[in-house]
Structure 1
Amino acid sequence: MRTNKTKAALIGAALAPVVAVCLPASSASAHGYISDPPSRQAQCAAGTVSCGDITYEPQSVEGPKGLTSCSGGNSRFAELDDDSKGWAVTPVPKNATFSWKLTARHSTSTWEYYVGGQRIALFDDGGAQPGEVVNHQVDFGGLTGQQKVLAVWNVADTSNAFYACIDVNVGG
């Protein structure tokens, strides 16, 4: 004869999978930004440049894929699109490393880098889930001097991407 504790344990074990299936699924969370060289949102978070909401959530510049703005089309972060804000410009070599800091990881289709509307680098992750830090070697080719780089992290299983702009001086 089974005790009440044993019966309760068996009922609990039988119901656990049913409860787990019935609970709402949490949304996938992906957040990240370029930390080195310091992106505009990294500069906001560090207090290098005075900014609004982005100061507290530099990893949250998310918007639909295919945008070309530093803010990812997010009006809360529109100051990232302001080229006259006094962004610090980082000297980089013609073949520079860009480091993404990911606070929440997500399957990735591609990483893209643009200067002046032209794509200068593409890294295809084929849906892989990245680690906490992702580094890319970006070759600037014939570009020199001060440039604004738009970096895009395209999430594999949503229609969104993450955006970061980095002000650099290539070869400077």
Structure 2
Amino acid sequence: MNMKRKLTVVLGAGIAPLIALSLPASEASAHGYISTPPSRQAQCAAGTVPCGDIKYEPQSVEGPKGLKSCSGGNGQFAELDDDNKGWAVTPVPSKASFTWKLTARHSTSTWQYFVGDSKIAEVDDHGAQPGETVTHQVDFGGLKGKQKVLAVWNIADTANAFYVCIDVNVGG
């Protein structure tokens, strides 16, 4: 190898780490969660409830579409499925606003809200890309008292969705 080529290789190898360090850091698996009313992920991030790794990645509860678990089937976040963990329950009216905080905005097929096995709301975004926050009005109908809401953000261009649970007291 000639001297000029060796110098180019050495300089390239020396500069590459500096370029990598100067690039903005991105969050691993950053996507979204419900911030208002405080979801289980939001409570973990705020330290309201002691949690494991989810406190650092409240936006990362992603799994295959069609699941019905707070953890999205992700074993690393299984504590979100524990209904006896001491989650704070937020009083809400029978028609309540749910606000998603999005750290990576994906094209969206639907947003769904479940209480138990019943879907209580669905918003079809027809593949639109949302902004940094998204708010939906959810009508609880005749439901009253303490409820666990499973909110699902179905991504339009992947087989995955994001899962969030929120503990509320409807009409409380």
TM over 0.5: yes
Question: What one-letter code is carried by the residue in structure 1 that aligns with 2:107?
Answer: S
Give the equivalent residue in structure 1 for 2:164: 164
Q: How high is the TM-score relative to the length of structure 1?
A: 0.83
Q: Contact conserved, 1:120 with 1:140, CA < 8 A, in 2?
A: yes
| CA apart distance, 1:117 | 1.2
Separation in structure 2 between the aligned mates of residue 30 and residue 49 of structure 1, nearest angstrom: 21
Hey, what does 2:115 align to over in structure 1? 115
* Equivalent residues in 2 for 1:1-172, closer than 5 Å: 31-172=31-172
Q: SS of the counterpart of 1:57? A: coil
Q: Which amino acid is the alignment partner of residue 105 of structure 2?
A: R
Q: 1:138, 1:30 → 2: CA distance?
A: 25
Task: Give the ranges of 4+ consecutive aligned residues of structure 1 lying more than 4 Å apart after TM superposition.
Answer: none
Which residue identity does 1:52 align to in structure 2? Answer: G
What amino acid is the match of 1:54?
I
Deviation at 1:30, TM superposition (A): 5.9
Measure the CA separation in 2 of the matches of 1:139 and 1:81: 24
The number of residue pairs the alignment matches comes to 144
So what's the TM-score if we normalise by structure 2? Answer: 0.83
Query: 1:49 & 1:30 partners in 2: Cα distance?
Result: 21
- The 1-side partners of 2:107 and 2:164 are apart by 18
Q: Aligned with 1:69: secondary structure?
A: coil
Q: 1: distance between equivalents of 2:30 and 2:58?
A: 12
In the TM superposition, what whole-angstrom CA distance separates every residue of 1:97-149 from its partner, at most 9, and x where no partner exists? 00000001000000000001100000000000000000000000000000000
Q: CA–CA distance in 2 between the matches of 1:104 and 1:116?
A: 28
Instruction: Tell me the residue number matched to 1:13.
Output: none
Q: Which amino acid aligns with 1:155?
A: I
Alignment check: 8 A CA contact 2:30 2:57 kept? no
Q: C-alpha separation between the residues in 1 aligned to 2:30 and 2:106?
A: 5
Say what the alpha-carbon RMSD is for the aligned residues.
0.8
Q: For the residues of structure 1 that align with 2:84 and 2:138, how far apart are their CA atoms?
A: 25
Residue of structure 1 in register with 2:13 after alignment: none
SS at match of 1:123: strand
> In structure 1, what is the Cα distance between the partners aligned to 2:81 and 2:30?
22
